[in-house]
Structure 1
């Protein structure tokens, strides 16, 4: 596989990909036109913050499977376009958390004690001891905007230094804040009014862009702002003015709305604002961690394994994966069989979980079921964009769970249909790695879902199974296995035949010419339905 790296990452990540036999090509400082050219045959793309991965890039990359962001922020990646094109976007949120938190703490002390300003004067030969009176953090209130991984690590460190912790984050629970000794507030204004220091740890989104402007900064009067998250969250002109006018005592900024920052940026020219060139993740350990984490996720994507930090695809906790893994392919297969047995327009897909699996996070299994349903329809689909494809085509998707399971520990049932009719296929696992189809549209069977299958509905009368076997034998189609279910004696029966070879339309026609046959369907589990006939 070809992996294109357009922003520098640690060698450890590149070496890990090469050890797996992948071709890693480095191409830095590309223009957009050059990127569109080199991405055309890439299977993976690794970026940091320097590469803009636009819709145009995704549409030019027909073979692209995954974009790996070696870091946290993904505002330079069009995730909507990635999803539309079935490309996974994954970041490395854990690798530089500690480094970013430590930089935030360092910047807090630097601005509170005017360390860079004092250093500069002393280096110029001026002993300016009386010019600087710092602020202690002990017994001060730290306002934390955004209480994700980095925000929580900052809280641990500065909380241990005697600061009272106040958190504003609409997406965090009060219980989690309590666990870290923080008070959760309902609005940003309260956080600003009560804080002495404000640290920011949110991503840059439409919701957070310029979230903190002049009016908000005025509520922090006499305090300090530390932003090591993303540029653009704090209005830069408003921050420069607030510090220059003495509304705020100081600020420390590691990130800017435009990077590299231009010389006319107002933050560079205010004495009590400390600036660094986006150094939050710039430690040797952090760079190696994000590089290897990104590489591992690319390898997982290439191996059709869950990508743990996928942002636009169903992901699963590493500890939960072994419990759902056997059902991922089973759901895909059940979806393929169900849609190929269904003759009409698909208007809904239902995925039902029974038994032990109902306790698990099954988003990835449901996405796999949708992929199975849509593949035989020859739609360009994978587990990334299957939910989006369903939405775009107006197909209702429902998921249900129940602990009741009957004779099996776990079952997955995929139903496709519309207002007029539907088809259900139910599967389970025997001994963890032995998948079985245990019912088709209510008929109990015990079929091995593999390769070529023939599903026949017929009258439950003597000789039908032998007749079908003879027709297949005459056509030199070998039967690998046969499974039969029926409603009542003499009623309707359903048989599933595992075959070593595909079945031609002529063979299907011969079978269907018998008056005892209601209908037959040839099922290919390679993604294409090659034929069906109905009486």
Structure 2
């Protein structure tokens, strides 16, 4: 499999790829967009930094493409939507530059406390001006960390080493993690009111865009100090300029901007209390080597073993998670395929319910497996774990997921229901059995059964009457179709029965037609899962 390294990354990362069996590497640094289009026709993976743009056109020109790896955090140069639509995994390397960005952030915080850049500039101009460069101490001051992820957590550790009180706002922060880090979790308003120093470490989304604006700054202490080494646009620059000019913000430090590169005539350049750096967060030799090796390892893992780490458009699965989740994902895919073939062609919703131990696992990955199984016969082999949710949504099908704590007869259970516009429901439930975790279907349309969730199934709903099992067995025998296993279920004597048979081969069209023509048989479907 071929990997195109479009932007220069660590030579150690490239060498790692070259040493992997079955992988070949093409280095094409500095290629024009037209040259990139000409190179991607037979590649399985592309590695970029920030220079090369992976557009929808590039993705369309790469029919074998499985993964795009970004050596860095942001994926602004990758059309993630187009990649997802094509089932291409997009990965970044968020941990490789964690320490570098945390250290740069704390450098900015120190420069906000002590005006070292301004003092150094005055010395170069020949001055000795001690009185104008007096600063403050970090000791016993309060640092507000907005976003306590990897980088925010590392900044918090450094602040604590300086004797600072650290408070944090993070809507996804578990109280147990905050307590373990000796950080006090607070609301954003509380953080704004109490902090002497504020640093932001959130991704740029609709919710975080301009989250630090005029209204937010007005709630802060007079003379607060503010820092952003995360993403431009989290702090509203016009609001920051006004606050620096008025003294509401005493000092600030920015490494990222709403528009990059920063314009030469930007008013940010002329503010004396503001320290600016040109997006240097990951600009250390260690970080660049780290992200280069990391992206190489991640891409190789996807191509060689299906292990997915740091994907931005699907759940990440490391080797341990894949080992644990693999049997559940196979079961889910089988249930999805079974329900799709049992139900009507058009459905309104796909309802998925989890019970037991499975609810503590990464249900998102299992849900995608169910969606993929449901869509395989509709959309073909192009459907995978990446684009299944998008394809389902495009069909107008809602996917509803529920984790239930109700008691059931199994240690763990998965239910899949396909609900048609008229309310008709096709449903199946499954579980894993034995030490090896074999997938079993244990219920079909509210009838208890037990069949292997794999291979070829013949599902018959019939009037419960003598001779039906013999009739079906004889018919399949004449067709030279071997029965591997059979499960029977009925509502009551003389009522409706269900026969589910594991087959070694597919019945002929004539056999299926004869089954359907039998007046005692209400439904006969051959299903392949």
TM-score, normalised to structure 2, is 0.84
Q: Could you say if the C-alpha distance between residues 200 and 516 of structure 1 is closer, same or farther in structure 2, counting changes exceeding 3 Å?
A: closer
2:431 matched residue in structure 1: 428
Bigger shift: residues 413-422 or 234-243: 234-243
2:452 corresponds to: 448
For residues 362-411 of structure 1, give each alpha carbon's deviation from its aligned partner in whole angstroms, at most 9, with x where no partner exists: 222122112211222236533233333333333233333245232x3222
How do residues 110-509 of structure 1 correspond to structure 2 at under 5 angstroms? 110-122=111-123, 132-172=133-173, 176-177=177-178, 179-187=180-188, 191-192=191-192, 194-212=194-212, 221-236=222-237, 239=240, 248-302=249-303, 305=306, 307-315=308-316, 322-378=323-379, 381-400=383-402, 401-406=404-409, 408-418=410-420, 419-431=422-434, 432-461=436-465, 463-509=467-513
Aligned to 2:8: 8
CA distance in 1, matches of 2:520, 2:17: 58
CA contact (8 A) 2:307 2:318 kept: no
Deviations 1:426-445, CA, capped at 9 Å, x for gaps: 22222233222233223433
Distance 1:304 1:497 in 2: 34
Unaligned runs of 5+ in 1: 526-535
Q: Structure 1 pair 103/20, CA: closer, same or farther in 2 (3 Å)?
A: farther
Closer, same or farther: CA 442–192 of 1 in aligned 2, 3 Å: closer
Partner of 2:110: 109
Listed one character per residue, the Cα deviations across residues 31-89 of structure 1 (whole Å, up to 9, x for unaligned) are 44544554454433333344444555555554443333333333444444444443333
Deviation at 1:330, TM superposition (A): 0.6
Shift of 1:506: 2.7
Equivalent of 2:523, from 513, 519, 522?
A: 519
C-alpha contact (below 8 Å) 1:6/1:51 kept by paired residues? yes
CA RMSD, 1 decimal: 3.6
Question: 1: CA distance between counterparts of 2:117 and 2:247?
Answer: 19
**How many Å separate the matches in 2 of 1:172 and 1:477?**
57
Deviation, 1:473, is 4.2
Segment drifting more, 145-154 vs 454-463: 454-463
Equivalents in 2 of 1:427, 1:170: separation in Å? 35
Are residues 1:44 and 2:48 paired? no
Structure-2 separation of matches of 1:333 and 1:490? 31
- Alpha-carbon distance change, 337 to 215 in structure 1, aligned in 2, over 3 angstroms: closer
Q: Secondary structure at the match of 2:370?
A: helix
Q: Secondary structure at the match of 2:371?
A: helix
Aligned length: 523
Deviation at 1:299, TM superposition (A): 4.2
What is the rounded CA distance, in whole Å, between the counterparts of 1:89 and 1:71 in structure 2?
12
CA displacement, residues 119-178 of structure 1 (integer Å, 9 cap, x when unaligned)? 455566665555532332223332333332212221221122122334344454666555
State the partner residue of 1:528: none
Q: Which moved more, 1:169-178 or 1:61-70?
A: 169-178
Query: Residues 241-282 of structure 1: CA distance to partner in whole angstroms, max 9, x if unpaired?
Result: 765776654433222334444544444455554333322223
Residues 308 and 318 in structure 2, CA contact (< 8 A), matched pair in contact too: no
Length-normalised TM-score, structure 1: 0.83
Whole-angstrom distance in 2 between the partners of 1:256 and 1:485: 66
1:532 aligns with: none
Q: Aligned partners of 1:275, 1:484: CA distance in 2, in Å?
A: 74
Q: Is contact 1:75-1:205 (8 Å) kept?
A: no
3-state secondary structure, aligned to 1:426: strand
Shift of 1:201: 1.4
- Which consecutive unaligned segments of at least 5 residues does structure 2 have? none
2:395 & 2:466 partners in 1: Cα distance? Answer: 45
Distance 1:311 1:489 in 2: 54
